[in-house]
Copies of this chain bind each other. A is one copy, B any other.
Amino acid sequence: MSVLFTNVTALLMDGDFTTLKHGYVSTAGTDIAYVGSEKPEGPFDRVIDCTGKVMMPGFVNAHTHVPMTLMRGYGGGHDLQTWLHRYIFPAEAKLDDRAVAAGTALGLAEMIASGVTCIADMYAHTDAIAREVLNSGISANLSCGGVYFGAPEDFSPDTCSDCKNQAHITELWHGEGNGQLLVDASIHAEYTSCVPLWEWMADFARTHGQRMHVHVSETRSEHEECLARHGMTPIRVLDRCGVWDNGGIAAHCVYTDGEDWAIMSEKDVFAVHNPYSNLKLGSGIAPIPAMAKAGVGICLGTDGMSSHNSADLFADMKLAAALHCGAACDPTAMSARQVLEMATVNGGKALGRKTGAILPGYAADLILVDFEAPNLVPCHDIAENLVYAAHGSNVVMNMARGKVIYENGTFLTLDLDRIRHEVRTYALPLIF
């Protein structure tokens, strides 16, 4: 499949914030073949006129738990412990693969309609998730979030179910779909496991060339309890076990400090900023401008739909841009362009993928945004409009890995009626 986009206005996200105008972008197979102002030689299977639209890279949602879409808004407004123990955990305990598949498909539909082309997901039932992602057409780094609640001295990889699962999902899905799926090594969090699991997972990551996905310093109590337990922060105690040796993503990082940031910067560990989840759950405001200044790569995530309650990264871009300006009482504390990098090219780097930029050789993960919509008129600055004025429903086309998977409100890989039916007749009755 090859596609030629004509009359292209595009934010290339090439590191220089180049805006291509009156240009051409072509794809060949899963990748971008050409970006420039000369019309490339054909033939092409399809030509798409981009007049009135703005092209940008598809979003990388760098931290999510997509099956939790089933729990959208469930138990909202309660304190964290009540929310988790009375609402979320009991519902999750009843999930099976079919319910997870339905919830995954529903979440992917919302993401695709609002411009996501790649995710980093952490959840159980990875086989069911993997199949839905493959079918949807977007890319994913999948992980299972390893936990181990036993005594450290009793740990054995031969009996640890999450170690066995890590091996299982790696064998089944790592690299599947010609790289559409990758499996990350993963530790759920410092407080839900212990040194021997961390060392085993670090070794597994090195052996299998996997990056790492961990929840880090999301809440003050989690951070301070780690300091009390280990005499060091989650970033540092995990680093001591080699967890960051292959780089990866540390989700949340609300309470990380300067010493953590030095390690993250050195070890290619990206912080995933999940601003809505952090605010809604009362976790706090991550020190993103300071982290960025310290050289930490920042990417953007929605977290699970249970603590957001949406998967529209436009909302997170807007919040990430405004929040830090407001918190610092400085309208220059965070720019629209910085936030666009977080949501696209930084996410690609964090996941070890060539996505998030419109450059030859990168994945053809591209979206078109309707700049004729009343909420995007006029346009004095494309980045300001995309970050502050656009929302997911302005996405009129989503191309993932060279294939158009959503166009003008229609899903081309997903059956929305079937998904809603599965959610309502199977998943919800099962778990609630």
Interfacial residues, chain A to chain B (CB-CB below 8 A): 70-80, 83, 106, 109-110, 113-114, 220, 276, 278-285, 305, 308-312, 315, 318-319, 321-323, 325-333, 335-336, 372, 374-375, 377-381, 384-385, 388-389, 391-393, 416, 419-420, 423-424, 428, 432
Contacts and interface: CB of A to CB of B under 8 A. Distances in A.
B76 A384 contact: yes
Nearest to A278: B326
A90 to B, nearest CB: 13
A79 B331 contact: yes
Nearest to A108: B374
B110 A325 contact: no
Contacts of A278: 326
Given A375-B312, A378-B423, A423-B377, A326 B73 contact: no
A372 B372 CA distance: 25
A110 B322 CA distance: 21
Contacts of A77: 331-332, 335-336, 384
The prevalent SS among residues of A at the interface is: helix
Contact of A389 (B72, B372, B420): B72
A321 B280 contact: yes
Contact of A106 (B109, B326, B377): B377
A276 B389 CA distance: 11
The 10 nearest A-B residue pairs measured at CB: A279-B326, A73-B384, A393-B393, A279-B322, A282-B331, A309-B388, A76-B384, A74-B380, A309-B389, A109-B374
Contacts of A331: 77-80, 83, 280-282
A73 B322 CA distance: 13
A41 to B, nearest CB: 35
18 contacts: A73-B384, A76-B381, A76-B384, A77-B332, A77-B335, A79-B330, A113-B374, A113-B375, A276-B318, A282-B328, A284-B326, A284-B329, A285-B327, A308-B389, A309-B385, A309-B389, A319-B319, A391-B393
A321 B280 CA distance: 7
A114 B375 CA distance: 10
Contacts of A281: 325, 331
Q: Report the copy number of this chain in the oligomer.
A: 2
A76 B331 CA distance: 9
B315 A318 contact: yes
Contacts of A73: 379-381, 384-385, 388-389
A381 B284 contact: no
A375 B332 contact: no
Contacts of A375: 110, 113-114, 310-312, 392
Contacts of A327: 279, 285
A420 B432 CA distance: 48
B423 A280 contact: no
Question: Which of A284, A322, A384, A391 is packed against the most chain B CB atoms within 10 Å?
Answer: A322
A285 B315 CA distance: 18
A330 B420 CA distance: 33
Given A326-B279, A326-B283, A331-B282, A391 B76 contact: no
B83 A374 contact: no
Nearest to A393: B393
Contacts of A391: 310, 312, 315, 391-393
Contacts of A389: 72-73, 305, 308-310
A95 to B, nearest CB: 14
